[in-house]
Structure 1
Amino acid sequence: MSSRSPSGLLRGLSRAALLGAVLGLGLFAWESERLLRTAGVGVGIDVQGPYAALMAAIGPLVPGLLARIAAVYALGGAVLGALAGGLIRAWGGVRWLWTVPAWLGLLGLLAWDRAIQRPALFDDVPALRPVLGTLVEGGEPWHPRLAAGLILGLSLAVLAWRVRPGKRALAAGAGAVGAVALLSAGGARFRDGDVRYPLVVLIGVDAFRPDRLRMLGGTRAVAPALERFLEEGATLFTQAYTPIAQTEPAWRSLLTARWPHRTGVRYSLTAESRWIQAPTFARQFSEAGWRTVFATDCSRFHAEGPDSGFTTRLQPPRGAVNFLLEKLRYRGVGLFADHALGAAWLPEFTDNRALAGIHDPVGYSERLAARLLAESRQGPTLFAFHATAAHFPGDPVYPYYRRFVAASEPLERRLRMHFSPVVPGGAGGAGAWRREGAEALYDELLAQADAQVGRLLDTLKQSERYDDALIVLFSDHGESFHADHPELAGATPVHGARLSEEEYRVVLAVKPPRGQPVPARVDTLVRLVDVGPTLLALAGLPALPADVDGVSLAPLLRGEPFSPSPLYAETGFTHVSPEVFDPGHWPGAPRAFDAYRIRPDGVVEVGAEAHDAMVQEKDRGAFDGRRWLVDQPRADGSVRRTCTGDCADAGALGQWLDAVRMQGP
């Protein structure tokens, strides 16, 4: 039977696909061998002591995980093999074994494209560093796509020259027209019906400092989507603060409208047994019949459980397995699985912010936007999203890695964050860099998170759900680059280490549904614990219990009289010893990995002894918009109270702080 017959063509392509699958599995085996020779966890933490417990927790999960990864390589290789076989046959008379170099060429084109889109996928391969540097400097996504188009066009031209006009050519043309029609239909947008269920959208952008907004003094175009949101009718609260500048405890305070010591969540990875159960505003929505959804692309130091009140939680796996995934940098996953099917098959890779270069933040936000619309069509919906681009591993994707970081900075510093610890006497660690470069990278990551937010907001507009939705944009904390400590210019930025404007002042903006005019900005002091009561009030739902610390901001949105309440705040726990910034401060909390324990289910938590020391080390303070009062534990066992700002009449605030501290540990 002729190889040009349909059955012969199908047999040839099947053979090429099988060969491609074998090549894909060979690539998987090569990468596996390479990964087995690596060590460490990527941030300079010694894991030798608890490594046995780590492996005991994740060991049972590894075989199934590796099998799914191998399937990605096999399927991706098979698709490339079929494409390679088709190209070879278009030229005619070439042995099918030529599929191998064609397969490698297509793999190279794919890697070329991904190296431009997400260069962190290859940034730790020394042999590729010169090529990667060139692509980072001048590569554009259309370059590899133009090359692929030229190859395809040339192959089709050769095929057209070889095949005489006739039924076969006519059928091929009809098939091409049909394919274009199907693609067009697939890209068509379907309008919602007449039903418009109530929709509340809560978007948290991790580590966003308000001074990055141009209307609050920012000098760069860091957040065009957020700026546009503010220009189109949202209220910006210019004096908003978090009670604790670390993500998990900040979100817990936000959900419960209670201070950290009343939630039991005092730092990241607090043992769940120490959490104080309390109603959340998400549960209030759920009990009222709303669909409640929480989504995040990173769960290492913030994951929501059933007690959060969200009935649907879309997040990567929590605990030890997530730290393992950082080491399983299978680049083929970044090549073959960075799409909706890959996210469904390997969500812990494709939708996991912790995996530099493999996670596709743009594709993730598009899938998230589709999920948001799907949920909102089924009933009243509360949809919360926590965007984590500004956190480790901090790898900006195209085009954000060219926005602000100077080209003179080392390539490895331009493509993702590196851990350079803060120690007494200065910055330690290899590769410390200038503060200007660190802040520029931070701004690029914020721009990337802003683009994700923009895709969600644009999707709401295109589906005509934007105007009638209640939307709240906020940040859980800020970030400090140690501007007051020149000796720490190259150190890793930190949040939760000091009660400061840089770390505790946050973004907060509210857009009520259409028809509710609001002021463009409010300069009154507000707190993150006020968000939940505000959402419930604006949605017309029952309030949280009367003993909460937050209050509704609805009067401010209506222009009514409002008496602001002070902020209670406390430091979290970071890799930075407080004595770095405050000589004589009590520095007793442990900062080694053995301060944590790994539960049998793989969840990583702070141990009992370390918990007591972490709580004892905390600074606690109050802010009323005019002055900060801060209590600092000293190495000699005393507590020093300091005041900054207008301290002429601080007695009332001091009494309030003492009363709040009496509420809990």
Structure 2
Amino acid sequence: MKEEPLNIETSNLRVFIRTFSVLILFTISMLNVRSLLSPYSLISTLNMISEANNHLVESIGLWQDLAIFGIVLVLTLSLWATLVTFISQSPYLTLGTQTQRDLYWLLIVLLSCTLIVSVNSYYFPTSLTSYLRQTPFSSPVMIVGQVIVLLFLYIASALSIKNSFSRCATLLLPILILVAAITPSNTSKQVELASKPNIFIIGIDALRPDHLAFLGANPALAPNINRRLTDMSVYEKTYSPMSRTYAAWMSILTGKYPINNGARFNLTPPEVVNTSLPLINHLNSEGYKTIYAIDERRFNQIDMSYGFDETVGPKIGAADSIITSLADLPYINIALLHPLSKHILPYLYNNRAYGKAYNLIRFNQDVLTSLSDTQANFLAVHFCQLHWPYSSKEFVAQAPQEWDGNYNHFMYKQMMRNVDKQVEHLLSGLEERGMLENAIVYLVSDHGESFNITDTSEPAAVTSELPSMKAWGHGTNIIDDKQSHVLLARARYIKGSIVNEKAVFKGVYSLVDILPSIADSLSITNRKLKDLDGIVLPVTKDDVIAHRFVYLESSIPVKSINTSFIDKKKLLSETEAYYEVRDDGKPYMRIDEYDDFIAKKQRAIRSEDWQLTLLPDYDGPVLLNVKLNQLTIPNDSTAVDWQTMRDKLCKQFKADLEFYQRENCAVNLSAIVNKSNRNED
């Protein structure tokens, strides 16, 4: 039977619907294939959400964010279908039958899909939808060839448009898209600000000092950081008041321990935290531009409501975890290459939690662009690549010599190289823009990280009845020194040269010491910043304070994260009762359970050589000999005055009534109160 001749009035809508349907099927197929490769499929993610308590899924803001992401997906596929329809409805070749036109349309669909997957495979090789990685299709030559073919067909279709205005607009559209993708970086130099130094606090999530050269580690793990540290004042024994990111940063920005600033956990409800930061308010009044930048916001919700002029990083909200688990699709990843994705995909743009598409250079560029050329700057920036799950858009280098049988530790060391490059890129950018002509730079980590590795050189435990000294993660066990020991280093730049004492300082320090040190450098009185817990960091070795104590506390103990492999379903099952998602779409700890959460905390007091710890599920204090790394139960023959340490610890946490009235503190309650009253008199 002879085919019908081409019907010129064939509906473009019909072709569009057919194309859109094929692209939907293409997307579903990719999601199904991805679910086979990933331990957490789309369906399992949705099941975990549906099984959660109602307070997690009744947030208007959460569903609005998810709906917006769904709309972006539909619009992206619609734009793609429109382009295919446009090219196929005005073909360059003269096709006489509908079958020929259908085959031509199918060819355009297949070519566009191949190009999308090829580009994704080239730019994002660790994506689970980069099916063509390490094939000729993902080579630059093949990608350019595919682009040329489709662009030629697009131009041919555009030239067939009879209306001259529409024809010109269609031809200019690709050029406008490309021009919009060009974001000139701010390379202008800062004007000289002799009286006001720039202040830069550069935080690195989970960076362990014992993995740096000044404590004997392999210098090749972080060559740039190690080189920078040789020119800085490094405070060897520095500890995080609480080994979680939000709590640690609030201690940095307030100069107070968590019990005094209210930030006792990640995702602390805002009503129990004073979000008005005196230092930031003072700097704003003195003409500083204040900026907070972080490349993952799931657990750190510091934003402009805390007084900052500007923030850099992904959007804050509970939708983050859901969207990042759904988003690994080639066209979404490619869209993130365009700067406008900052507005249409705010949960994915500059989000290290979506590691397969995270660009550390672009994040740095956005941070550098946020800085002022005419004002002094206060920048607090935090890099999260060293945080689990240790993902990036590039495959890690093969380094069999660094394999120790512990996968997380191996990946941690590989990610150290990434964050090392990121820190160096940022500091080099600051130098190029003249931002280090007059500046104070702090290089810090918020907490350490434990991989449950036992050092065979360590002495055996005194008794098996003692609590474990080893754990996984951070914030789970304050007896494990690897979780709370952090990096703290300072550099003072004057006329572009470092003038501080270049040395490793003994003594014991805390992250709460950073703000008092900044205040001292700027001659800000303590009265303006109110009561501070920290001290001014010594600038010479003669200034070191001997016999100082610092305080530590843990987060809530969570069994599902104290393991080598975090099972998301078990984690949600264990912790979903701890949190709620409010109408603004942000997750917070449940305020009605807050006192119970605090009661589960571990607490400790630490000196340079000893740490005394009180545990909620253990009778009596335990004492850690830091030099020997040995845990004991203290008694009257113990070589240190542990009773005084216990009294100081009880006094520090006396606002936690449940803790203060426990047997270990209650037996000394009157003595502590009397001693406190005498000191106040």
Provide TM-score, normalisation by structure 1: 0.73
Partner of 1:59: 63
How do 1:444-483 and structure 2 match up within 5 A? 444-483=414-453
User: 1:263 touches 1:275 (CA, 8 Å); kept in 2?
Assistant: yes
SS in 2 for 1:465: coil
Q: What amino acid maps onto 1:224 in structure 2?
A: P
Give the superposition deviation at 1:481: 0.6
Distance verdict in 2 for CA 1:52–1:221, change over 3 Å: same
Partner of 1:270: 268
**Aligned match for 2:121, one of 107, 115, 120:** 115
CA distance in 2 between partners of 1:483 and 1:548 (Å): 36
Partner of 2:673: none
User: 1:499 touches 1:571 (CA, 8 Å); kept in 2?
Assistant: no
Structure 2 residue 350 is the aligned partner of structure 1 residue 351: yes
Deviation string, structure 1 residues 164-217 (Cα, Å, up to 9, x no partner): xxxxxxxxxxxxxxx9xx99xx79877525723442222211111112223322
How do 1:247-646 and structure 2 match up within 5 A? 247-276=245-274, 279-306=277-304, 308-331=306-329, 332-357=331-356, 359-362=357-360, 365-399=361-395, 401-404=396-399, 435-484=405-454, 493-513=473-493, 514-524=496-506, 525-543=508-526, 545=529, 547-553=531-537, 556-558=538-540, 560-563=542-545, 565-576=548-559, 591-608=574-591, 610-634=593-617, 638-645=619-626
Partner of 1:203: 202
Give the superposition deviation at 1:510: 1.8
Deviation string, structure 1 residues 534-585 (Cα, Å, up to 9, x no partner): 22333444445352111221xx2355523153210011124228999xxxxx
Q: What amino acid maps onto 1:281 in structure 2?
A: L
Q: What amino acid maps onto 2:513 in structure 1?
A: D
CA distance in 2 between partners of 1:47 and 1:268 (Å): 24
Q: What amino acid maps onto 1:27 in structure 2?
A: L
User: 2:190 touches 2:434 (CA, 8 Å); kept in 1?
Assistant: no
How do 1:1-16 and structure 2 match up within 5 A? none
Give the superposition deviation at 1:493: 3.7
CA distance in 2 between partners of 1:216 and 1:19 (Å): 66
SS in 1 for 2:453: coil
Partner of 1:48: 51
User: 1:338 touches 1:350 (CA, 8 Å); kept in 2?
Assistant: no
Give the superposition deviation at 1:480: 0.5
CA distance in 1 between partners of 2:16 and 2:503 (Å): 59
Q: What amino acid maps onto 2:414 in structure 1?
A: E
SS in 1 for 2:640: coil
Partner of 1:650: 641
Q: How many residues align?
A: 574
Q: Which runs of 5+ in 2 are unaligned?
A: 1-10, 36-40, 153-174, 457-467, 564-572, 628-637, 658-681
Distance verdict in 2 for CA 1:344–1:403, change over 3 Å: farther
Distance verdict in 2 for CA 1:463–1:615, change over 3 Å: same
CA distance in 1 between partners of 2:291 and 2:260 (Å): 25
Give the superposition deviation at 1:274: 2.5
User: 1:630 touches 1:641 (CA, 8 Å); kept in 2?
Assistant: yes
Q: What amino acid maps onto 1:49 in structure 2?
A: A
The RMSD of aligned alpha carbons is 4.5
Distance verdict in 2 for CA 1:53–1:344, change over 3 Å: closer
Distance verdict in 2 for CA 1:496–1:287, change over 3 Å: farther
CA distance in 2 between partners of 1:529 and 1:619 (Å): 19
Deviation string, structure 1 residues 110-164 (Cα, Å, up to 9, x no partner): 43453354344217xxxx7xx68xx5xxx4999621333466799999xxxxxxx
Give the superposition deviation at 1:381: 1.4
Provide TM-score, normalisation by structure 2: 0.72
The more displaced of 493-502 and 255-264 is: 493-502
Q: What amino acid maps onto 2:52 in structure 1?
A: G
Give the superposition deviation at 1:80: 8.6
Distance verdict in 2 for CA 1:20–1:192, change over 3 Å: farther
SS in 2 for 1:472: strand
Q: What amino acid maps onto 2:333 in structure 1?
A: G
CA distance in 2 between partners of 1:145 and 1:392 (Å): 32
CA distance in 2 between partners of 1:633 and 1:156 (Å): 67
User: 1:527 touches 1:550 (CA, 8 Å); kept in 2?
Assistant: yes
Distance verdict in 2 for CA 1:200–1:234, change over 3 Å: same
Distance verdict in 2 for CA 1:40–1:248, change over 3 Å: farther
CA distance in 2 between partners of 1:155 and 1:40 (Å): 38
CA distance in 1 between partners of 2:102 and 2:290 (Å): 54
CA distance in 1 between partners of 2:474 and 2:186 (Å): 44
User: 2:445 touches 2:488 (CA, 8 Å); kept in 1?
Assistant: yes
How do 1:43-192 and structure 2 match up within 5 A? 48-51=51-54, 53-57=56-60, 58-75=62-79, 98=104, 100-101=106-107, 104-105=110-111, 107-115=113-121, 117-122=123-128, 135=133, 139=134, 144-149=139-144, 192=188
User: 1:47 touches 1:593 (CA, 8 Å); kept in 2?
Assistant: no
Give the superposition deviation at 1:244: 0.8
Over the matched positions of the two proteins, sequence identity in percent amounts to 19
Give the superposition deviation at 1:626: 0.9
Partner of 1:39: 43
Deviation string, structure 1 residues 310-329 (Cα, Å, up to 9, x no partner): 23223433332223323432
SS in 2 for 1:221: helix
CA distance in 2 between partners of 1:91 and 1:258 (Å): 76
Distance verdict in 2 for CA 1:560–1:633, change over 3 Å: same
Give the superposition deviation at 1:519: 2.3
Deviation string, structure 1 residues 11-55 (Cα, Å, up to 9, x no partner): xxxx99x9899857853575369589933449x967513257415
CA distance in 2 between partners of 1:324 and 1:311 (Å): 29
Deviation string, structure 1 residues 59-103 (Cα, Å, up to 9, x no partner): 234333322333344446767999x89xx9699999897475355
Deviation string, structure 1 residues 284-306 (Cα, Å, up to 9, x no partner): 32232211111212111111145
Distance verdict in 2 for CA 1:367–1:208, change over 3 Å: closer
CA distance in 1 between partners of 2:110 and 2:401 (Å): 34
Q: What amino acid maps onto 2:645 in structure 1?
A: L
Distance verdict in 2 for CA 1:155–1:65, change over 3 Å: closer
